[in-house]
Amino acid sequence: MMTAQFLYGGAGMVLFVLGIWSFLVHEPLVRKLIALNIMGGGVFHVLIAIAYRGDDMAPDPVPQALVLTGIVVAVSATALALALGRRLDDLSPGDGPDFSPPAPQADLPLRPKEHAGGSADVS
């Protein structure tokens, strides 16, 4: 089905663009990482769509092998970024670092009023 292939590839492109947008506008590290993984998912969608060669032929194995490799790379990169982010949080428990979510400022009664007001959206 050509339409299925087209839908799949098109969805991949949409995911890629959504990922870039989200990566650029959101500050917290976790959101940026999720955005990057959505971008990667988009590229993998496109590669899977390429592999389709009609109903009576087996799919092209090369793009599928690429997707597998790509997933491994994405997982390792995400792990390294998370490890660096954890380290950053450990180093600066007080002020909000560039890339990490607003850390729950436990037990430090520095700004009691703000803490009480802002605790609703900080899990």
Partner 1 sequence: MSAELLAFAVAVPLLGAMLAVVTVTRQGSETRASPLLNWVGLITATLTTLVIIFMTGAVWQQGPLRLELGGWGVPLGIALRADGLSAAMLAMANLVALGTSLYATGYFRSNDEALHFWPLWLLLWAALNGLFLAADLFNLYVMLELLGLAAAALGALTGSRDAVSANLRYLLVGLLGSMTYLLGVALLYTAYGTMDMSLLADVMRAPGPTDGTALVLMTAGLALKAALFPLHFWLPPAHANAPAPVSAALSALVVKAAFYLILRLWLELFAPVATFGASMVLGLLGASAVVWGSWRALRAERLKLLAAYSTVAQIGYLFLFFPLLAATPPGPAHDQLVAAVVLMALTHGFAKAGLFLAAGLVQQQAGHDRINELGGTAQHLPATVFAIALAGSSLIGLPPSGSFISKWLLMQGALETGQWWIIPVAASGTLLAAAYIFRVLSRAFGLEPTPLRFVTDARTEVPALTLALISAAALGLAAGPLWTLLGLDAGGGA
Helix axes 29-51, 2-25, angle to 10 degrees: 160
- By CB under 8 A, residue 65 contacts partner 1: yes
25 is a contact residue toward partner 1 (CB under 8 A):
no
The DSSP annotation for 37-106 comes to HHHHHHHHHHHHHHH---TTSPPPHHHHHHHHHHHHHHHHHHHHHHHHHHHHHHH-SSS--TTS-----T
Q: Which stretch binds partner 1 (CB under 8 A): 81-89, 101-109, 110-118?
A: 81-89
Residue number with CB closer to partner 1 (92 or 119): 92
How many residues line the site for partner 1 (CB under 8 A)?
A: 37
The count of other CB atoms within 10 Å of the CB of residue 42 is: 21
Q: Which of residues 33-62 bind partner 1 (CB under 8 A)?
A: 33, 36, 39-40, 42-43, 46-47, 50, 60-62
- Under the binding rule (CB under 8 A), the answer on residue 119 touching partner 1 is no
Give the separation between CA 60 and CA 49, rounded to whole angstroms.
10
Instruction: Please report, as ranges, the residues that interact with partner 1 according to CB under 8 A.
Output: 16, 19-20, 23, 29, 32-33, 36, 39-40, 42-43, 46-47, 50, 60-63, 65-66, 69-70, 73, 76-77, 80-81, 84-85, 87-88, 91-92, 97-99
